[in-house]
Structure 1
């Protein structure tokens, strides 16, 4: 069959729970999830269909159908994130895939445009995703905003025990104090997911059944931090360490060090630009850094209206040219005005722009992942020294934190 006839035959439609088996089959094919993979994760008796069923229940899932066959799909989760203390509606893109025999028909590009338009309608001014291909998503307007630093600490280099007034208690994964701690943590950390029930379910979906939680309580019995971990074959695996105060961090590392006789190695990840080596007694450890999540601004005007720029001595204005590979409403010349309180207003139009930038670069700059000075040096923005100085003064110097996965 010719490609033109094939394009005439396919249709765009919502993917519903009745399509769960097809949704599952497409995910397994595209992401090459085998039965052995399921066994490794302890899911040999539980299909991805059930594991990802919440996607079909709570997310906006759309796909292309060839007759009754689902051939291409993506899903958008309704999430929220903390951006410099302001809570943003975020569209979490996931479940992206197309069968190879339907490749090069522009199906995914049309799906993404459809999804981004729906995000804009729902006031989701930013979208996050975990990339299977960074170059692919860059071409669609996403850019890296967070890193993952993986570390290994041998038992001989565990931190020495330090006195703290509180103690750690081991509890089940369902303990309510875990969410109490995380909720406080998330509003303190720029970039973090504000975890609703769906976000928690996604975060813990593929974890081993023997996951254990240690909660640090201060001397007033208030929960101040937690540790999600498991121990296997003399390795202490840290899934997540969350603490509201430094006392809790010390207490949790005391707890880890107390396993000295049981383990030979501690493995974990850090999701912010703060290497563990600096705060350990013996920092000569193995750490590897890799890009983690990407984001893209969906609606630049709405994003700017919510964005907390740094306070200034006086009102300031910036006129810039913006390009976007997919969204026409993010293209053109814009005038940004920021008042002394850090409130930004964006209007279309303006003369003599002093900055030329695209939507991926604007996203990573406003998220604080890369600074204007660096972006200008590597040619990602075209501007002058005065504008660089202005941008450095307007944007807060804080790296995003994001430890979730969906």
Structure 2
């Protein structure tokens, strides 16, 4: 029996938690020292990852009883232009190096995506350890993470607002109340279930603090999650429902002027903070954050909220998918006058030629059709590109979670 014939793909269950953790730690080179620096003991790490095995769909390759390759999919939901879609959150991807180049991960990815299709998870998100690797598999960038550094003397001047800020524990229910309202209005955000919140908090430091902004009627309108270390105020996330809450939270940050030398944090949109500050000469860096791929293009189009064109639209498209045969070929995109989409197989001459990667980033609004056409990622005529421009909402994707 050859080495490959010995291997078997199967479900990874809670009883395999020790092997699951060992493989994760080896692949991502996480040492005991790394774990201890964030205050976690070995047993806590094991218990923390049990939800992955209990609530996620985890596949692996086994050599006898030994787990040698794995992939996990969380059952999540995201807001796509105001509509809630089932999303498969891909994580825990890894193979021991002695089993590399056998095509194991390719088969795991295909099976994981096929299972997502069966579960009606029409889109998949992941945090990429390698952009080129996942691009070859059909994923594309859909969100950015902008980090910033503001010196104490550059903090905005305090502006009068009618509300106030309270410092609270991070488990205070008003934080979830604010985020639920925020995520209902922001495109591409995670709809945080209990599982999503568990993942959101998983690796946080114990001294993380919440500051919640309340309006004059005592309703929570925004929150700040932060910690202070070595004279630096670190912002994990700032969420606000309106401009009043944003000003109120920055007033709170500015009140630390005499306590910290600088403020560092992240923004998960492409809106530069420098423009908003009076002294905008700050350090900002932008980097790709999350990737996504359409799992089932027909199902995704059925669920996708197009802008109502006022008349029925029909566009024939040639779609290329590197691994999923059901997304491959000629399709006609039908969009009703009210914005309801439908995709059917077609034999007509395509007006649009596009990959699943480009289709994903275009429909999620990360890059516009006209820009994608200008760089050769979308092949079509100007009239069809203009139709696509009018069909897709103009909202910047926001995604601040990690799993």
- Per the shorter chain, which TM-score range? over 0.9
Q: State the partner residue of 2:205.
A: 208
Does the CA-based 8 Å contact 1:146-1:292 persist in structure 2?
yes
Q: TM-score, normalised by structure 1?
A: 0.98
Q: State the partner residue of 2:48.
A: 51
Distance between the aligned counterparts of 1:238 and 1:323, measured in 2?
A: 41
Distance between the aligned counterparts of 1:397 and 1:332, measured in 2?
A: 28
Which has the larger displacement, 271-280 or 252-261? 271-280
Distance between the aligned counterparts of 2:224 and 2:58, measured in 1?
A: 33
Q: State the partner residue of 1:81.
A: 78
User: Any idea what the Cα deviations from partners look like across 1:179-216, whole Å, max 9, x if unmatched?
Assistant: 00000000100000000011111011100000000000
List runs of 5+ in structure 2 lacking aligned partners.
none
Q: State the partner residue of 1:180.
A: 177
- Once the two structures are superposed, the pairs formed by residues 209-248 of structure 1 within 5 Å of their partners are 209-248=206-245
SS in 2 for 1:308: coil
* Residue among 8, 11, 26 paired with 2:8: 11
* Residue among 287, 291, 294 paired with 2:291: 294
Distance between the aligned counterparts of 2:310 and 2:85, measured in 1?
A: 27
List runs of 5+ in structure 1 lacking aligned partners.
none
- Once the two structures are superposed, the pairs formed by residues 228-307 of structure 1 within 5 Å of their partners are 228-307=225-304
Q: State the partner residue of 2:91.
A: 94
Pairwise CA distance, 1:241: 0.4
Q: State the partner residue of 1:384.
A: 381
* Residue among 394, 397, 400 paired with 2:397: 400
Pairwise CA distance, 1:292: 0.2
Distance between the aligned counterparts of 1:391 and 1:178, measured in 2?
A: 38
Q: TM-score, normalised by structure 2?
A: 0.99
Pairwise CA distance, 1:39: 2.2
Does the CA-based 8 Å contact 1:82-1:192 persist in structure 2?
yes
SS in 1 for 2:2: helix
Pairwise CA distance, 1:45: 5.1
RMSD: 0.9
SS in 2 for 1:181: helix
Q: State the partner residue of 2:24.
A: 27
Aligned length: 403
SS in 1 for 2:157: coil
